[in-house]
Amino acid sequence: MPPAVKEEGKAAKLALMKQMLYDKVRETGREDDLFTQEDLLALDVIPNRDMVLLAETVQALSDDKLFVTMREAGGSFSWKWRDAQEAHKYKQCTTEEQSMVYSLIDDSGGDGLWSQTLQRRLNMHDTVLKNALKQLQTKGLIVPFKNVEHPNKKMFIKASIQPSDRATGGPWYTDQNLDEAFIEELQRVVFDFIKRQSSYISRHGHDSRTQKMPKKGVIKGEDRGKKRAASEMEEPAPKAAKTTAISTPRKDVLLPLPAGFTGYPTVKDIARLLSSSGITNNTILTEMDVKKLVDVLVWDNLIEPIRVGGKTGYRVSRVAKQSTQGWAGREDGVDGNPEPYISPYTEAPCGRCPVFELCEDGGPVGPSNCEYYAKWLGEEEEARQ
User: Has residue 8 got a pLDDT over 70?
Assistant: yes
Question: In whole numbers, what is the pLDDT of the chain averaged over residues?
Answer: 79
pLDDT for res 138: 93
Domain 92-168 belongs to what architecture? Orthogonal Bundle (1.10)
Which of the residue ranges 68-72, 192-196, 323-327, 330-334 has the most confident prediction, judged by mean pLDDT? 192-196
Strands 142-147 and 150-158: antiparallel
User: 220 near 214, Cβ under 8 Å?
Assistant: yes
Region 59-78 average pLDDT = 87
Candidates 103, 129, 107; CA nearest to 116 is 129
- Cα separation, 55 vs 74, in Å, equals 20
According to the per-residue pLDDT averaged within each range, which of 170-179, 214-223, 245-254, 336-345 is highest?
Answer: 170-179
Going from N- to C-terminal start, the domains of the chain cover 3-87, 92-168, 180-204+250-342, 206-249, 344-384
183-237 pLDDT, tens digit per residue, is 888 999 999 999 999 888 887 544 433 334 334 444 444 555 455 454 444 445 4
pLDDT surpasses 80 at 180 = yes
Is domain 180-204+250-342 annotated with CATH 1.10.10.10?
A: yes
Comparing 3-87 with 92-168, is the CATH topology the same? yes
Question: Which among 340, 342, 338, 311 is positioned nearest to 196, based on CA atoms?
Answer: 338
pLDDT band at 371 (very low <50, low <70, confident <90, very high): confident
- Contacts within 8 Å (CB) and 24+ apart, 3-10: none
Share of the chain above pLDDT 90, in %: 31
Convert the pLDDT of each residue in 79-117 to its tens digit: 999 999 889 999 999 999 999 999 999 988 888 899 999
pLDDT of 137 over the 60 cut: yes
What pLDDT sits at residue 233? 43
**Would residue 309 be called left, alpha or beta, if left means φ above 0 and alpha means ψ between -120 and 50 degrees?**
left
Q: Which residue has the higher pLDDT, 98 or 365?
A: 98
CATH top class, domain 3-87: mainly alpha
